[in-house]
Structure 1
Amino acid sequence: MKINTYYINARLFPTILTSIPILSLYYFGFSEELIEFMTFLEGYKWASDITLSIATIYFLVQINRLISKELFQNLLFKEELNMPTTNFLLNSDSTLAKSMKLQIVQKIATDFNIQLLDSNSENNNEEEARKTISSAVAQIRNATRNNSMLLQHNIEYGFVRNLIGGSVLAVIISIFNIFIFQYTFSNSFAFKLNLVFLCIYILPIILSKLLINKYGKYYAKILFEQYLKK
């Protein structure tokens, strides 16, 4: 596990924020049982090397990333073929100024020997045009990997995407908690608290398309701007 600025801000922080329903389940429901379980684990050598909490957080980071990338990003953008970084370089897209797009196309051809399709070819085979652009964008990312401004926008996009993914799990746990605190561990405060959690965490899911598109477009614009400055 590589700990860096991106991991901490874009993966770890969203996981912590969306782990609150699990913590409420522990605190109000299973705290005594888990304490007994942890006491039991302390007798084993491997338990001193890695704590249950660290393992749980690492597991949740991977789950959140999987949900956000596979369920939301790939569903909305069909992997990278419909991402803003691809759309912006299509001849049919008018987001970027024509002069800027021409500079990017020429620089891609010079730097990576990749020729993007012209308007006629794009109209005849848009999927091939998108695949070519996607390959070029991957090279652009590699070329601008150490750009601090781009890293910041990449972190912002990753944070939002992973927050949405974590919210899915948070909603599921909140619903589970509502039933648990209503019928198993009767606790009015915990029941109402998880109702609030449910309302909070369902919002990023409802707004997922808007948020991912918005931050994806911010990232795409900065990516191309910084690439031209390189």
Structure 2
Amino acid sequence: MNDVLVVDDDPHILKALKITLHAHGYTVVTAPDGESAVRSAARHAFGVIILDLGLPDIDGTTVITRLRQWSVVPVLVLSARHGSDDKVRALDAGADDYVTKPFGLDELLARLRAVQRRSIQADEAPVVTTASFTVDLAMRRVTRNGQDVRLTPTEWGILELLVRNPEKLITQQQLLTEIWGPAYTTEANYLRVYMAQLRRKLEPDPGNPKHFMTEAGIGYRFQP
């Protein structure tokens, strides 16, 4: 679905993105604030929402929280806020990815395609194949070079969460909450240990990973 809702209070950005996205085959609807964005999303089934956090009426993170009460539409955050705390809050609220202003149009289009791919892949057969290994989610089986890879239950839990969300930035808090529980959201050292183990078992070069990428201070991203 190529219908995109762009939410930003800067009319120049709205105009530029509408022209650019239209030139790449997207149908674009724009909204200048959070309330009109929520109303528009309720009336129309968009394929992706591009959302600025600094809106004049309600914060973009609040928009995401309200959308996630009834919608799973991919949300790509576009914001001038550079701090990792803002990124974490938006991602934990349910955003799928984050692009920081000023941004290159090539990067924005690549991120847009990535969240669309992830949305499509969620409906496909539960087998994830990379150049290095294969994960059969239904059988809970991982193979590398034709050989089974033995994972601990915790390793499997982390792997499953990441590969079910390809190319999406998953925060440390999300991983810790899902795998260990809400009481462990500050235990980032747990994640570092287990991510190192997964890389040793699955990456061709664990010191230079291709599939399990770290976003410093924020979380991890799985690249198929």
Q: Which TM-score band (shorter chain)?
A: under 0.3
TM-score by length of 2: 0.22
Which of structures 1 and 2 has the bigger CA Rg? 1
Q: Higher helix proportion, which one?
A: 1
> Normalising to structure 1: TM-score of the pair?
0.22
Larger relative contact order, structure 1 or 2 (CA cutoff 8 Å, min sep 6)? 1
